[in-house]
Amino acid sequence: MSEACDQSCSSCSEECSDRKDKNDFLESPHELSRIKKVIGVVSGKGGVGKSLVTSLMAVTMSRRGFNTAILDADITGPSIPKAFGIKEKARTSELGVYPNTSKTGIDIMSINLLLENETDPVIWRGPIIGNTVKQFWTDVIWGDIDYMFIDMPPGTGDVPLTVFQSLPVDGIIIVTSPQELVSMIVAKAVKMAEMMKIPVIGLVENMSFFKCPDCGKSHSIFGDSHVEEVAAQYGVDVVAKMPIDPKLAAACDKGLIELTDINWLDNLANQLEDEEQEIKGEQKMKIAVASDNGNVTGHFGHCESFMIFDTEGKKIVKTEAVANPGHKPGFLPNFLNDMGVNVIISGGMGGGAVDIFNEKGIEVVIGVSGTAADSAALYLDGKLESTGSICQEHEHHDECGEH
């Protein structure tokens, strides 16, 4: 550890023994919140349309039928409530704080919903701002959310870093405009994402052009865009180019952003949906662990019950115990196959049972010990190895499914 260590391992490249893993800093959401995807929207400076892109993405995903939320982490320049026309203060109970819900059902939390007067300036220092954002995650009762968009504080300073460290952000969208030093801003944002090990979903160039309503010609008001070259240089995609559109500014001012018929971000929304489909399609599984009293059993056929873990990606979404219906030779592999099991984990297992599982395309992991839940989690992390210890002891012959 260097003498100047400030414990922010994510922004330090030193491989010291005190180095903390990214997950060590993560905060848990409120116990009544189940948030599936968290997407951060970042920019190099204020005023480039980060809040607008956040709002439009939330509106687009909500129109597609997803439960959508916005966490306004831009504490010193909160503009989300105004764009959605929300003036009421947030409701609280002894359980926590409730987000306000917009006209079309988007859940929103912003410092403006907590301040007495929305024109009060927030003149707090970085750590307090960072803590407030953390509380928007830990103390707000979000309920079931498919997509949460975070309107990040502009720049790559300590507040955005705290947010990235404390919240499980799945990906970031970088918003730029042609009048900025795009190359430098993209470089900084991409580097920050790399350090935090968060994928960059793509780049949105806002205020890219203006389409003249009279002649229909597009004009590059802020000069020609170089965003494509810059994106290619840093290996990211330009996912949208949004025009300057007075309708958008007017909708934000009137609190009617939900009612615009804007489709500039449809490609980006498609991309998010496709990724979701892939995760769902590829990685839904059922893992069965032959167990005694919650622990992996040594003798498959003789176990007390099968702990069945339904998983999505690397997450266990459901757990149930199914009693062992009995250990007639060859019966259990068929029984588990009929339940839709893809993986069986056990301490020991007879060779006959292993063969039947293999014929059915069910993966067998044997030689495992510890708790059933830990073994399923290790399997999902790719850390569970099958030692291949097929039960050859004759005393367990039939009990292990051998026949």
- Give least dist CB 79 to ligand ADP, A: 4
- Give least dist CB 131 to ligand ADP, A: 22
Residue (48 or 307) nearer to ligand ADP, CB: 48
Collect all residues with Cβ–Cβ distance below 8 Å to 115 and sequence separation of at least 6: 122
- Give least dist CB 256 to ligand ADP, A: 12
Collect all residues with Cβ–Cβ distance below 8 Å to 364 and sequence separation of at least 6: 343, 344, 346, 349, 354, 357, 358, 386
Binding site for ligand ADP (CB under 6 A): 43, 46-52, 77, 79, 206-207, 242, 244-245, 248-249, 252
- Give least dist CB 210 to ligand ADP, A: 9
Residue (43 or 156) nearer to ligand ADP, CB: 43
Specify whether the backbone of 401 is left (phi greater than 0), alpha (psi in -120 to 50) or beta.
left
- Give least dist CB 83 to ligand ADP, A: 7
Residue (9 or 252) nearer to ligand ADP, CB: 252
Residue (48 or 227) nearer to ligand ADP, CB: 48
What is the Cα Rg of the chain in Å?
A: 26
- Give least dist CB 142 to ligand ADP, A: 22
Residue (112 or 206) nearer to ligand ADP, CB: 206
Lookup: tokens for 346: 């056990």
Lookup: tokens for 161: 């870093």
Collect all residues with Cβ–Cβ distance below 8 Å to 353 and sequence separation of at least 6: 300, 301, 330, 332, 333, 400, 401, 402
From edge to edge, which strands make up the β-sheet containing 34-43? 100-101, 107-109, 68-72, 144-151, 34-43, 171-176, 200-205, 238-241
Alpha-carbon 383 to chain mean position: 22
Q: What angle do CA 141, 147, 148 make, to 5 degrees?
A: 55
What is the rounded distance in angstroms from the CA atom of residue 387 to the CA atom of residue 348? 10
Residue (44 or 367) nearer to ligand ADP, CB: 44
Residue (55 or 68) nearer to ligand ADP, CB: 55
Phi, psi of 149 (to 5 degrees): -105, 130
Give the type of residue at 304.
E
Residue (76 or 337) nearer to ligand ADP, CB: 76
Long-range contact set of residues 114-119: C-beta below 8 Å, sequence gap at least 24: 114/89, 114/90, 118/81, 118/82, 118/87
Collect all residues with Cβ–Cβ distance below 8 Å to 221 and sequence separation of at least 6: 207, 209, 210, 244
- Give least dist CB 168 to ligand ADP, A: 23
Residue (50 or 327) nearer to ligand ADP, CB: 50
Residue (43 or 297) nearer to ligand ADP, CB: 43
What is the rounded distance in angstroms from the CA atom of residue 81 to the CA atom of residue 103? 12
- Give least dist CB 55 to ligand ADP, A: 8
Residue (68 or 305) nearer to ligand ADP, CB: 68
- Give least dist CB 182 to ligand ADP, A: 14
What pairs with residue 323 in β-bridges?
305
- Give least dist CB 321 to ligand ADP, A: 50
Lookup: tokens for 13: 């490249």
Phi, psi of 53 (to 5 degrees): -65, -40
Burial of 389 (0-12, 13-18, 19+ CB in 10 A): middle
